[in-house]
Amino acid sequence: MIDGKKVLFSGMQATGTLTLGNYLGALQNWVKLSDEYECFYSVVDLHSITVRQEPAELRKRARNLLTLYIAAGLNPEKNCIYYQSHVSGHAELSWILNCFTYMGELNRMTQYKDKAAKHADNINAGLFTYPVLMAADILLYQTDVVPVGNDQLQHLEITRDIAQRFNAIYGDVFTIPEPYIGKQGARIMSLQEPTKKMSKSDENANASVYLLDKPDDIMRKFKRAVTDSEGVIAYNDNQPGVRNLLDIYCSCKGITPDEAVKEFDGKGYAELKTAVGETVVSVLKPVQDEFERLGKDKAYIDGIIKANAEKANYFATKTLRKVQKKVGFPERIR
């Protein structure tokens, strides 16, 4: 609890450019949660170097991501929006938690197995202990809730296991975090292979809509979206392409699939694609405009970065000192 509010933590990696899926599935919900919780939204750059990055590119993307958090509507004076690498407590706690995590547990992580297969030439120890760093992120702020996608639930589970193990030895040190289960954002799928999640790193340029895509590109991608040969606009498992278009439409408009199906009754796929494209363009426009405006205000963003790094450090250090003392590190002499 901070000031009577429950603590919420989440983060995104600055690898790739954010997609419409990241926006409708996560970012848009973060904004809604920010009144109810004391929120920490991190740009998790320490996680990013588990795969090779081009330094200048990583730095630029991290700044863009942080700016996008704000452009999407997160008030940086209420929400702690910061770079993970600016708070050394993440790495320090991560080391300690490594010593409370078993190889066998980490070996079971499906994301590790996937990434190791994908980057067979660079299966580094960081890739393996990635979930421990994520546990440190969460536990450092005594987090109550973590909004995450399904692909991260296993990491949240191991976080809870590590925290419970630590608490069992040393007393109530860590708050045990819960996944945020509320109205989750829609799961947005690829426009080209609608049974696959829309991804930041899809090789097919038409598969993902990016947050900063120009209107013409957005319209083109929707016009080329894969549908089916049923010819009827309905919401079901047999028409994943159409269902995905409807999901996107519903998320943008805040309506239900039933309402959307009614709206498109008797219409064809071309009309559906145009309507969804236009809706997405209009939803992204204010975010893009704000991103552009903020990009020009270097001093403002720098001020946010500085102030929020201090705020995050303050809370992180509180937990870290407690943990260091518990495990037996010597007291600091001041």
**Residue 152 or residue 190: which is nearer to ligand TRP going by CB?**
152
Residue 277 tokens read as 């494209």
**Residue 11 or residue 277: which is nearer to ligand TRP going by CB?**
11
Which of these is catalytic: 200, 223, 318, 325?
Answer: 200
**Residue 40 or residue 264: which is nearer to ligand TRP going by CB?**
40
The CB-nearest residue to ligand TRP is 11
- Is 89 a binder of ligand TRP (CB under 6 A)? no
Judged by CB under 6 A, the residue of 152, 190, 227, 319 near ligand TRP is 152
**Residue 63 or residue 197: which is nearer to ligand TRP going by CB?**
197
325 included as an active-site residue: no
Judged by CB under 6 A, the residue of 8, 39, 43, 44 near ligand TRP is 44
Q: Which stretch binds ligand TRP (CB under 6 A): 118-126, 133-141, 205-213, 217-225?
A: 133-141
Judged by CB under 6 A, the residue of 7, 8, 11, 280 near ligand TRP is 11
- Is 146 a binder of ligand TRP (CB under 6 A)? yes
- Is 148 a binder of ligand TRP (CB under 6 A)? yes
Active site residues: 115, 197, 200
